[in-house]
Amino acid sequence: MARRFDSIQRQWSESAQQVSVRRFAFVLALAALFAGALAAGRHWWSVDLWDVVFVRHPFLWVSVLFGALTGAAEVLARYRDEPFAAIFSPPGVWYMLLNGVISGAAYGVLDRYGDNVFPGVKDGLMRSVLAGFGAMVVMRSKLFNFKTESGEEYAVGPDAVLSTFLVSVDRKIDRYRSLRRQQIVCQRAALIPHPEAAAPFLSTSLASYQNLSAAEKSDLNAAIKDIVGNSALDDRLKLIAIGFGLLNVCGEKNFSDVMELLRQHQSPGDPPQG
């Protein structure tokens, strides 16, 4: 039953990610058409946008893609367990769309006014690079900081808007991922026959990671010791708490495999659970 449930969960997760990828491709196309309208000029409604986007301005797509990748990099840095699942979650897709639209709009501005802004830049690829990555530099700028009577400082400028949006996206992605993480950890922890003896095995498993720094291993081991020493939690809850920290390093599949190895270690005669 547990194996069947895990299979259904995995299929659902893969299906959801496929839908998000298709959705991202669709909204990326809309972003490029929007930027193409800007590049077409004032009377964009009388212009064949397909011709503008794909024929006259093929590098417009490149700038939109660069902008989307910049947004994806920001999301990647925040979610370590399954970064690509976070990127292609609905809020992650919308954040990449926002970045793509901004970069596409910047390309349209460079195409129309580039001779005045960057007279030496005539190449379409160079303009797409400037628009794709330079737009976010502008959007991350602060005109000045406003300090309140209580001493709090607030940035005034494009960065304030983008940061507010990013905080909202962060919260939505976190909520989106939290249910999946809780299901994986709780289901795997429920299969361990002796949770009180799990901590030494999980601490030892950290040695299998070659690129995990000594500081990260030390922090994880210290966190495991603190959890084990917490008398307010029973043994099963301690294992669950350790599992959440380990999941950040392992990722979903590897975490499930490690927990299965732990189960087999404690019950060597039992058949694999899948």
Q: What is the pLDDT of residue 200?
A: 93
Q: What is the pTM of this model?
A: 0.65
Q: What is the pLDDT of residue 170?
A: 82
Helical spans, DSSP H, in the chain: 2-40, 49-51, 59-76, 83-87, 90-117, 124-139, 158-190, 198-205, 214-228, 235-250, 252-266
Instruction: List beta partners, residue 154.
Output: 146
CA distance 261 to 274: 11
Work out the end-to-end distance of the chain between its first and last CA atoms, rounded to an integer number of angstroms.
10
CA distance 22 to 26: 6
CA distances from 262 to 51, 183, 259, 272 (A): 59, 18, 5, 11
| 254 Cβ contact partners less than 8 Å away, ≥ 6 residues apart | none
Q: Helices 158-190 and 90-117 sit at what angle, rounded to 10 degrees?
A: 150
The whole-number mean pLDDT for each consecutive block of 10 residues of the chain, a chain of 274 residues, reads: 46 48 57 56 48 63 84 84 84 83 79 66 73 70 61 64 76 86 93 93 90 87 92 93 91 91 85 64
